[in-house]
Amino acid sequence: MQLGAMIYSFAPAIRSGEMTQRQAIELCAELDLACVDTMAGLGGDPWPEVRRMVEDAGLFVACHIAFAPLSSGGPAERRQAFDTVRTAIADTVAVGADKLMVVTGHIPEGDSREAVQKRIGKALGELGLEARDAGVRLCIEDFPGITSPHQTSAHLLRLCEIAGPDLGVCFDTGNFYSGGETPQEAWPALAEKTIHAHLKDWIWDDDGRLCTPDGRRFRPELVGRGIIDYPTVLGQMKTSGYEGALSFEYEGGLDRRAAVREGIAYLRRLLDCL
C-alpha cells in the first residue's frame, strides 16, 4: 500500500491564497509520500503543468477527481454531465493518472434513490468504456449525506453491477457512517472492487453537519484523533491484499500544513506495524 494525500486536503489554504498547489505538492514530497490526488477546479494550474510539478517532486498522481451531476434527470443537465466526465478523462490522462473518481451529485427532489442509481450506473457504464479506451479506470466513493445516491457498500455494489466491470470503488473510510455502516463492516463486501482509498476521520458532535441514520451527528476530525479504528481497517485492507494508494484526507479546521504532517505521521506509524 502506498501512502499519499489529496490536494483537496489543502483546499482552504489554496483558495485563500495562503499556499499554492505547487507548495502543497512540495510538502507531500517533503513528507516522503508516494502520490497525490488532484481535483478539478482546485489550484488553477494547467494539468500538464501539474503533472510536471508532481513528477519533479518525485511523486505520481494516483487519482484525479471531478464533479459531474450524473444523478440529474434532465436531458440538458445529463448531456453536460457526460461532457464534464469526458473532459475529466482527458484531464486525467494529462495529469498522468490512470484513475478518475467521479462525484455524481445528489438525489433530485422528488426522485428515488433506486432510479438515480440506475441512471448513474448506466451513465458510468457507457463512460467507463470511453475511459478504458483512454487508459483510465472510473471509480465512485461512498458519498455522505441523506441525499447521496451511494452511501453504503450495498449502494456501491448495485452501481457496479449496473455499470459493469469497468467501474471501481474508491473506499472512503469515513463516509460509510452517513449510511449507518462502519468501514470495518463495509470492507469485506468491497475489497474486490476497491481500486483507490481515502483516509479521513470524524468525531461525534451534536452540532455536526452530518448524521447517521439513527440521528447521531458528527464532524470532521484528524485521523488518529477520531472514531475510526484505523489499526483494524488498515489491517483488513492489508490482509485482503489491497496494494493501491491510501490518500490522506482532512476537512476540519486545523492549519492544513500541521494537520497533514500529524495525520501522515500517524498513518505511517500504523503502516509500519502491519
Ordered by where they begin, the domains of the chain are 2-273 (3.20.20.150)
For 231-270, the pLDDT digits (tens) are: 999 999 999 999 999 999 999 999 999 999 999 999 999 9
Cell reading at 139: 471509480
The beta-strand segments (E) located in the chain are 2-6, 35-39, 60-67, 99-103, 137-141, 167-172, 194-199, 201-204, 210-211, 217-221, 245-248
Q: Residue 235: what pLDDT?
A: 97
What pLDDT is attached to residue 79?
94
pLDDT tens track for 77-134 = 999 999 999 999 999 999 999 999 999 999 999 999 999 999 999 999 999 999 999 9
Query: pTM for this structure?
Result: 0.96
User: Where would I find the beta strands (DSSP E) of 30-77?
Assistant: 35-39, 60-67
